[in-house]
């Protein structure tokens, strides 16, 4: 394996087809060391196909992919010795106790479970729970087991498919804290998710995939900065002239209420409305969801 | 070699292995008892002309000699069922079963190549099969000793019977493993493996009961498992060679197919 300092994950023209169905098309992607990378797309967009190629479960039809400097086809075993993987909708060994299942997977990994205790604390999986058989676990507990088995050996790269699926809000917070720990430790995380607020919250960069093609790859802040924000204000007396505010469009006046859509920087707008006549002001935060939906709205428009 | 995987595969089978070894041992002990109790009566029936001799044989076994009785015990459907649990059930559960349950991707996300996974499961199946065949052979030995007919048995030839039996079941095991690595679900792999076993058994029994269909025996793996001939010193090395070939071909298939196939997300 090459000692690549650059990308932890790199794909070049990666493609995968099943017969005439194109699951991935000419995908170029780089995930840098130490970043938390979000991989977004609806069901069937190609997220799982991409992850399964990285793990060596699927063989690419075109292009190449490297993980931690190794080729996913040639160096798959070496790659898997350095990563942790949480499959979507994880299945575990029902007949084993939680602890035995973790011990077994740790033995197969060939590395000591150095982070298990800390992860169990974060996710509230005490020894009494780990003594129970996996078949008696709830969906949320199985998901917590999935996170623990993926990260207990402190992998250099964690590949997590829908990591908070089935976790209650409290445990989601626990998971976000774990991601924070990984970030602080310089580990790289590649995670797919349907939960856009989650990606927005924990990821440094995000890729949006549609019909197997990469549609966007940005830092989360860049993506948010380009998004439209809904603004609403209430005004005492005659409505101010907002036509001079750069980026403000779709302005509508209804009595004392004014609404519109703001693109880009909010500062000029705030300066324009700073007045004793301003009764109320709401600027909705830019949401990744809007960015995401915009890519798919374009897709819908393309369909005849 | 992944000892954790090997040990876990055996551990998952330990309870049923213990039970089936005890049952197989007990069943095999009874065979020499039946032989000493009923062989004279069977001879009288044959001599009376009521039944043709062929109808009182089963496969390659009969009740006229101790070697024939031991063969009958090892080819009896009960004995076949005991070993098939591990020669067919374990390979199917270990790969296609794990694939269907979704645990295979957790396992293969570890640094284990598919070749190694296959090799470890195959070794575990071989050990399980060998233990049950050993229980069958040792049970017969214990029965022979218990009824006092040891002088009719050449003990030194028993290891050959054991080796012939292990080879037969290894051939069925390798076929089941090939079916298992080729399938995403346990049901089709199990059906194919059981079908292969039953077809072989059918050919052997059909050929032994019906002269016109005797040729079918040549196409049955059971016909190359000949404890009677081995015990009477008439071993044919070709039987071992054919069983070895029947074992190697599915192994080669599996080693080519398993690493190359795509493992899509479980349904």
Instruction: Give the N- to C-terminal CA distance of chain A in Å, as an integer.
Output: 47
Answer whether residue B192 shows pLDDT above 60.
Answer: yes
| pLDDT value, residue B119 | 97
Please, what is the Cα angle at A275 between A271 and A281, to 5 degrees?
75
Q: In angstroms, what separates the C-alpha of A103 from chain B's closest C-alpha?
A: 10
**Helix, strand, or coil here: B170?**
helix
Angstrom distances, CA of residue A6 to CA of A35, A78, A214, B89, B146? 12, 18, 20, 47, 74
Answer whether residue A3 shows pLDDT above 70.
Answer: no
Answer whether residue A150 shows pLDDT above 90.
Answer: yes
Tens-digit pLDDT profile for residues A249-261 = 888 888 889 999 8
| pLDDT value, residue B2 | 85
Q: In angstroms, what separates the C-alpha of B116 from chain A's closest C-alpha?
A: 11
Neighbours of A42 (CB within 10 A): 13
The rounded distance, in Å, linking the Cα atoms of B186 and B180 is: 7
Q: Which is more confident, B66 or B170?
A: B170
Contact state of B263 with A90 under an 8 Å Cβ cutoff = no
| Residue of A90, A139, A89, A145 lying closest to A113 (CA atoms) | A145
B244 falls in which pLDDT band (50, 70, 90)?
Answer: very high
In this structure, the strands spanning A83-86 and A36-40 are unpaired
Residue A278: which H helix or E strand, with range?
strand A278-283
- Residue numbers in A near B108 (CB within 8 A): 55-57, 80
pLDDT (average), residues A150-156? 97
Q: Which positions 89-108 of A are in contact with B (Cβ < 8 Å)?
A: 89-93, 95, 104-105, 107-108
The answer to whether the beta carbons of residues B89 and B50 sit under 8 Å apart is no
The answer to whether the beta carbons of residues A79 and A68 sit under 8 Å apart is yes
Tens-digit pLDDT profile for residues A20-66 = 899 999 999 999 999 999 998 888 889 999 999 999 999 999 999 99
pLDDT (average), residues A100-112? 96
| pLDDT value, residue A89 | 87
**Any CB–CB contact under 8 A between A83 and chain B?**
yes
| pLDDT value, residue B163 | 96
Contact state of B109 with A85 under an 8 Å Cβ cutoff = yes
Answer whether residue B54 shows pLDDT above 80.
Answer: no
- Reported pTM: 0.87
- The alpha carbon torsion through B105, B111, B112, B113 (nearest 10 deg) reads 100
Tens-digit pLDDT profile for residues B157-183 = 999 999 999 999 999 999 999 999 999
The answer to whether the beta carbons of residues B146 and B33 sit under 8 Å apart is yes
Instruction: Give the N- to C-terminal CA distance of chain B in Å, as an integer.
Output: 30
pLDDT, mean over chain B: 91
Tens-digit pLDDT profile for residues A186-236 = 999 999 987 777 888 899 999 989 889 998 898 988 877 767 788 999 988
| pLDDT value, residue A224 | 73
Q: In angstroms, what separates the C-alpha of A57 from chain B's closest C-alpha?
A: 5
Return the percentage of chain B with pLDDT > 70, whole number. 94
The answer to whether the beta carbons of residues A209 and A40 sit under 8 Å apart is yes
């Amino acid at each position: 394996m090459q000692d690549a300092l650059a990308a932890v994950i790199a794909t070049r023209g990666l493609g995968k087809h099943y017969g005439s169905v194109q699951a991935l098309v000419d995908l170029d992607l780089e995930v840098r060391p130490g970043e938390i990378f979000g991989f977004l797309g609806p069901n069937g967009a190609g997220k799982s196909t991409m992850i399964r190629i990285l793990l060596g479960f699927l063989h690419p039809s075109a292009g190449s992919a490297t993980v931690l400097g190794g080729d996913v086809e040639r160096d798959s075993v070496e790659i898997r010795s350095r990563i942790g993987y949480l499959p979507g909708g994880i299945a575990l060994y029902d007949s084993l106790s939680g602890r035995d299942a973790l011990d077994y997977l740790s033995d197969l990994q060939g590395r000591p479970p150095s982070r298990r205790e800390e992860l169990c604390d974060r996710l509230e999986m005490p020894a009494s729970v780990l003594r129970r058989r996996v078949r008696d676990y709830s969906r949320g507990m199985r998901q917590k087991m999935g996170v623990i088995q993926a990260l207990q050996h402190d992998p250099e790269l964690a590949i997590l498919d829908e990591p908070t699926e089935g976790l209650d809000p409290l445990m989601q917070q626990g998971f976000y804290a774990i991601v924070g720990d990984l970030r602080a430790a310089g580990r790289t995380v590649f995670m797919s998710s349907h939960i856009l607020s989650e990606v927005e919250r924990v990821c440094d960069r995000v890729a949006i995939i549609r019909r197997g093609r990469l549609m966007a790859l940005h830092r989360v802040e860049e993506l948010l900065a380009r998004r439209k924000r809904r603004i609403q204000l209430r005004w005492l007396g005659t409505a101010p002239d907002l036509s001079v505010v750069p980026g403000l469009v779709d302005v509508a006046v209804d009595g004392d209420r004014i609404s519109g859509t703001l693109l880009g920087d909010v500062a000029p707008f705030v300066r324009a409305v700073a007045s004793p006549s301003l009764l109320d002001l709401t600027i909705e935060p830019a949401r990744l969801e809007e960015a995401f939906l915009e890519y798919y709205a374009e897709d819908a428009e393309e369909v005849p | 070699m992944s000892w954790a995987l090997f040990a876990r595969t055996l551990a998952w089978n330990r309870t049923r292995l213990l039970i089936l070894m005890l049952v197989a041992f007990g069943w095999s002990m009874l065979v020499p008892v039946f032989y000493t109790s009923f062989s004279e009566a069977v001879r009288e029936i044959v001599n009376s002309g009521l039944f043709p001799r062929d109808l009182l044989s089963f496969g390659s076994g009969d009740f006229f000699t101790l070697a024939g009785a031991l063969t009958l015990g090892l080819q009896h459907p009960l004995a076949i069922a005991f070993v098939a649990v591990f020669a067919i059930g374990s390979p199917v559960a270990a790969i296609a079963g794990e694939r269907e349950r979704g645990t295979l991707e957790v396992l293969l996300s570890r640094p284990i190549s598919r070749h190694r996974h296959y090799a470890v499961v195959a070794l575990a199946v071989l050990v399980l099969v060998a233990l049950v065949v050993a229980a069958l052979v040792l049970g017969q030995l214990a029965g022979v000793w218990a009824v006092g007919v040891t002088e009719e048995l050449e003990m030194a030839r028993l290891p050959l019977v054991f080796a012939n039996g292990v080879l037969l079941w290894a051939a069925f095991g390798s076929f089941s493993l090939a079916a298992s690595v080729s399938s995403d679900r346990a049901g089709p792999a199990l059906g194919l493996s059981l079908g292969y076993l039953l077809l072989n058994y059918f050919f052997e029994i059909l050929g032994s009961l019906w002269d016109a269909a005797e040729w079918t025996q040549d196409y049955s793996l059971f016909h190359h498992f000949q404890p009677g001939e081995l015990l009477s010193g008439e071993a044919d090395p070709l039987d071992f060679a054919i069983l070895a070939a029947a074992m190697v071909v599915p192994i080669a298939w599996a080693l080519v197919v398993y690493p190359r196939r795509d493992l899509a997300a479980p349904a």
